[in-house]
Amino acid sequence: MASEAQTGPASDVPPGGGPGPGSAGHGLVFPADDHGRRSTSDVGRAVVADALRAADPTGARAAEQETAWRTGYLPHFRRLVEAGLASPEAAVGIARDGLDSLHERMRVVDDTGEEQRLASWPAAAGGALRGVEVVGQGEVQPELVLPFHGERLRRSGLQRRVAAWVEAGVVEPSVGQAVDEVVAHPEWLRLEGHTVAVLGAGAEMGPLPSLMRWGARVAAVDLQRTELWERVLTQARNGAGTLVVPTAADDAGVLEQAAGVDLLAGVPALETWLAEQPGTLVVGNYVYADGATNVRVSMAVDELTRRLLADRGDTALGFLATPTDVFVVPGEAVEHSTRAYDGRSGRSKTLGRPLRTLSGGRLLRRQYVAGSDPGVNDSLVPQQGPNYALAKRLQRWRATVSRHDGVTVSMNVAPPTRTRSVVKNRALAAAYAGAHRFGVEVFEPATSNVLMAALLVHDLHTGGGPRHDAPWQDEAHAAAHGGLWRTAYAPRSALGLAALLGYGAARG
């Protein structure tokens, strides 16, 4: 289980791999073929096909026949979204079938090397856990305060900043409405009566620092890494909340060294531990890892989530959706993008024409067909790869299915953010540095962290926010996409130019 980027294979996993956090052959793994090879491409292709089969048989066949999955996955992930537009039932069916396919295919390898289905993962696996409480000694932050460019915005200053983002098309108007409600109800911030399980406690984009300042109770889960827990426990002790940390039941050592659990191997133990937490349990998914491990750890969270939903009827779910995915967007966003495209400066139009001609229409394309309602925003980034796309999509699938089943779900699209995992990729770092030239605002981690934590608080106090007729409307509500939905150009058609323009700034 990881909260930040780890070194890992980009696609297919070779056979073998010793036990240990993130290793290819331990805990939750991809299934092995007859030669012992664990192919992430084979699984991704099959899962997408299974998800599409009922709603879009033609799309399912196209996914099955894709021979270059690592580079050819983009249109198939778009098709998963477009096929769901046929009806709300189709969208929920795609999500449910995709999850079922993943749970049927993925496997667990125990310490003896025996491989079994996820559903057969024994409750005793991973050993028992005990919780150690750390009570913060700081003052409760009594109101929502947003760090932004060196300032600390509150009340009307905060509301003006969010309103400016709405006006610029950086966030959807419903973000402003949600923030206004949290500002009006500062007592919500403590999340009285809840325990928030932050899976990925050290994540840059996770809510733990904000929840600690606001006085909430948090069950923190992350890998057993001393430097990570030194940082997390410092935040807890300086904060005003209560942090409960899992350790092995027989480990009474220094907490910074004893804290943590490998989610890839510890789902049953975590299920038992989290099921006993007081108040309404919120399972917050903030995990991340590189390559194939990202799918594995996301599946571990999903299996844990599935079990906790069965254990406790009061379980709520929290997710952050990546903005670099495919989303259905409202007609208002299409109109905003169309105005931006039609209102380009004369210089932009002059430079754009030869670029589109020389690139065969690939560069600086209009984002939507004018008048589309709804539209489809395709912000998938090829450099992130099919494993990243599948890991994030399965989280959206769980949110869709759970909301349909009556579970309180907070799933909000987070803005593009300069996290460590992004800026270490030179191409993405350069694209983010040049993104402002195309109407996309890239956020600093401190700003994203507080904004998204506030939206989580809002959702937990409003039953997950308003219910809509179609799942895509739930996903579009309170989306802080950074402008990707409302920019003039199809994002991938401007990505290379943004990287070129931002290369110097990224190097600096």
Closest CA to 48 of 19, 76, 14: 76
Tell whether 306 is covered by a domain: no
Mean predicted lDDT score pLDDT of the chain:
92
- For residues 197-205, give the mean pLDDT: 96
Q: Residue 294 pLDDT > 60, yes or no? A: yes
Model pLDDT for residues 21-72, shown as the tens digit of each residue = 445 567 999 999 988 899 999 999 999 999 999 999 999 999 999 999 999 9
Q: Which of 120, 136, 167 is the last residue of a domain?
A: 120
The pLDDT value given to residue 17: 33
pLDDT tier at 19, thresholds 50, 70, 90: very low
**One-letter-per-residue 3-state SS of 177-237:** HHHHHHHHCHHHHHCCCEEEEEECCCCCCCCHHHHHHHCCEEEEECCCCHHHHHHHHHHHH
Closest CA to 274 of 297, 233, 305: 305
Higher pLDDT, 347 or 457: 457
Q: CB of 162 within 8 A of CB of 171?
A: yes
Q: Residue 12 pLDDT > 70, yes or no? A: no
The pLDDT value given to residue 24: 59
Q: CB of 488 within 8 A of CB of 438?
A: yes
Q: Which of 120, 138, 154 is the last residue of a domain?
A: 120
The pLDDT value given to residue 7: 28
Q: How many CB atoms lie within 10 A of CB 234?
A: 12
Strand order in the sheet with 107-109: 27-29, 107-109, 115-117
Q: Residue 351 pLDDT > 80, yes or no? A: no
Q: Residue 18 pLDDT > 70, yes or no? A: no
Tell whether 286 is covered by a domain: no
Q: Residue 298 pLDDT > 70, yes or no? A: yes
Q: Which of 76, 93, 120 is the last residue of a domain?
A: 120
User: Measured on CA atoms in the order 305, 309, 310, 314, is the torsion positive or negative?
Assistant: positive
pTM of the shown model: 0.93
Model pLDDT for residues 214-227, shown as the tens digit of each residue = 999 999 999 999 99
Q: What is the DSSP letter of 465?
A: S
Tell whether 439 is covered by a domain: yes
Higher pLDDT, 430 or 178: 178
Give, in order, the Cα–Cα distances in Å from 199 to each of 447, 459, 492: 20, 18, 31
What six digits make up the tokens of 418? 């300069």
Contacts of 381 (CB under 8 A, 6+ apart): 324, 428, 492, 495
Tell whether 332 is covered by a domain: yes
Model pLDDT for residues 131-151, shown as the tens digit of each residue = 999 999 999 999 999 999 999
Peptide bond into 19 cis (omega under 30): no
Q: What is the DSSP letter of 118?
A: G
Q: Residue 11 pLDDT > 60, yes or no? A: no
Angstrom distance (rounded) from CA 368 to CA 237: 49
Tell whether 353 is covered by a domain: yes
Tell whether 371 is covered by a domain: yes
Q: Residue 311 pLDDT > 90, yes or no? A: yes
Angstrom distance (rounded) from CA 303 to CA 271: 9
Model pLDDT for residues 430-466, shown as the tens digit of each residue = 999 999 999 999 999 999 999 999 999 999 999 999 9
pLDDT tier at 503, thresholds 50, 70, 90: confident
The pLDDT value given to residue 1: 36
Model pLDDT for residues 314-345, shown as the tens digit of each residue = 999 999 999 999 999 999 999 999 999 999 88
Q: Residue 508 pLDDT > 60, yes or no? A: no
- For residues 298-307, give the mean pLDDT: 98
Tell whether 191 is covered by a domain: no
The pLDDT value given to residue 14: 38
The pLDDT value given to residue 13: 42
Angstrom distance (rounded) from CA 481 to CA 380: 13
Q: Residue 2 pLDDT > 80, yes or no? A: no
Model pLDDT for residues 98-109, shown as the tens digit of each residue = 999 999 999 999
Instruction: Tell me the percentage of the chain whose pLDDT exceeds 70.
Output: 94
The pLDDT value given to residue 352: 78
Lowest mean pLDDT among 110-114, 393-397, 409-413, 463-467: 110-114
Tell whether 263 is covered by a domain: no
Please state the domain count of the chain: 2
Contacts of 456 (CB under 8 A, 6+ apart): 207, 284, 318, 410, 412
The pLDDT value given to residue 21: 46
Question: Residue 104's domain spans which residues?
Answer: 27-120
What six digits make up the tokens of 241? 């909340």
Listing DSSP states for 73-107 in one string gives -HHHHHHHHHHGGG-HHHHHHHHHHHHHHHHHH-E
- For residues 199-212, give the mean pLDDT: 96
Burial class (CB in 10 A: 0-12, 13-18, 19+), 124: exposed
42: amino acid identity, one letter: D
- For residues 379-385, give the mean pLDDT: 93
